[in-house]
Amino acid sequence: MKTNYKPIFETLKLRSGVQLRNRVLMAPMTNSSSHEDGTVSEQELAYYRERAGGVGAVITACAHVTPEGQAYVNELGADNDSCIPGLTKLSRTIQDQGSKAILQIFHAGRMTSPDLNGGQQPISASGIAAVRPGSVSPREMTEDEINTIIHAFGEATRRAIVAGFDGVEIHGANTYLIQQFFSTHSNRRTDGWGGTLEKRMAFPLAIIDSVQNAVATHAKEPFIVGYRISPEEMENPGITMEDTLHLVDVLAERKLDYIHVSVRGFWDGSIRDKEDTRSRVLLIQDRAANRVPVIGVGGLYSPEDVTKALETGVSLVALAHAIIMEPKWVEKVLTNRDAEIRSTLPKSAQKELVIPDPMWDLLLSVPGWFPVV
């Protein structure tokens, strides 16, 4: 290992007591490779097995907490106890290679469609459709439905604990249901779940409580609870950076293990104001200070990229595209083989990279998404 890369390999003990052996995580990435019933497939297990081992932790693709909360075809499920055997295989597959296993849990809200949820109309904080082609107007959730979903996050956490995971990441980002309650675009409620900033935070905070209560009740070993956020929305009205910094202040007091910032680029500025070029990740890092670790992500490929990011003060870095193209990224940096790190996606490399068929088709179908050669 080159001396200037040492920060990558520093250990980190999280608030829960779980210790990560280095500062690099595998970011959660949709693979659409589970079985139709949401259980884990052999292709998924092989995909994670190939990428676990070097990274300190693997954060899985998002797993829905209720059947109608799916966002993708063949998505991982954590919505009933029949998922536990497959989830157990998944956690052990990751841990057997030496990495911690974190299950990302979510509900799509209005970002699903009747095609994915048995013909049902999507649900959300309010009956406001997403601003994207083909969006279906959702139905505003009732009080009972809100409480059911909150409970479902706790139940998904219980299943993760039973299945042997080291933690869960609450997916409060990427325009899904938790973010929909926080957003002034999708949440037009006038009851206790919407209106003021504090009321728009009520649903996310209730889910954190549900998850943490499940951990307190069921976990016999230290168990990670992280939270992912998207800093801004392009819609107007929509989430502003000021909203998010207020949320960070509140999250920092909730005894979370980390806040994971979901952005396209680590150094990217505002998506609402092109004149504001300050990194959204670093604004959150500055606000969180030393109260809660922050995970940075986005456009980081080389060990130089990761080292530079860590030098800003963020505690951890999550790699997405880099780990797809180079499953042994961490191992190669550690053994002075960083010159061998693959930076393109060869069309002939699916088998070598152990990428499931549905995910491979997706990677090649979006022009410019990956540097396909």
For 257-302, the pLDDT digits (tens) are 999 999 999 999 999 999 999 999 999 999 998 899 999 999 999 9
Distinct helix (H) and strand (E) counts, the chain: 13, 14
Please tell me whether residue 164 adopts helix, strand or coil conformation. coil
- Specify if 372 maps to a domain: no
pLDDT tens figures, 169-194? 999 999 999 999 999 999 999 999 99
Amino acid in position 261? V
What's residue 192's pLDDT? 97
**Cβ(38)–Cβ(64) under 8 Å?**
yes
Taking the C-alpha atoms of residue 298 and residue 301, their distance in angstroms, rounded to an integer, is 9
Residues 47, 48, 176, 301: which is the catalytic one?
176
Q: In the annotation, is 176 catalytic?
A: yes
* Cα separation values, 317 from 63, 148, 298, Å: 22, 34, 9
- Specify if 35 maps to a domain: yes
- Specify if 36 maps to a domain: yes
CATH number at residue 222: 3.20.20.70
- Specify if 357 maps to a domain: yes
What's residue 117's pLDDT? 87
* Cα separation values, 350 from 42, 187, 191, 346, Å: 15, 42, 50, 8
Please tell me whether residue 178 adopts helix, strand or coil conformation. helix
Q: Give how many domains the chain has, as a whole number.
A: 1
Sign of CA dihedral 132, 135, 139, 145: negative
Which residues in the chain show pLDDT less than 70?
A: none
The whole domain housing 141 covers: 3-365
What's residue 295's pLDDT? 98
Residue 253 class from Cβ within 10 Å (0-12 exposed, 13-18 middle, 19+ buried)? Answer: exposed
- Specify if 81 maps to a domain: yes
- Tokens 């959300």 locate to 124
**Cβ(52)–Cβ(60) under 8 Å?**
no
- Specify if 347 maps to a domain: yes
- Specify if 322 maps to a domain: yes
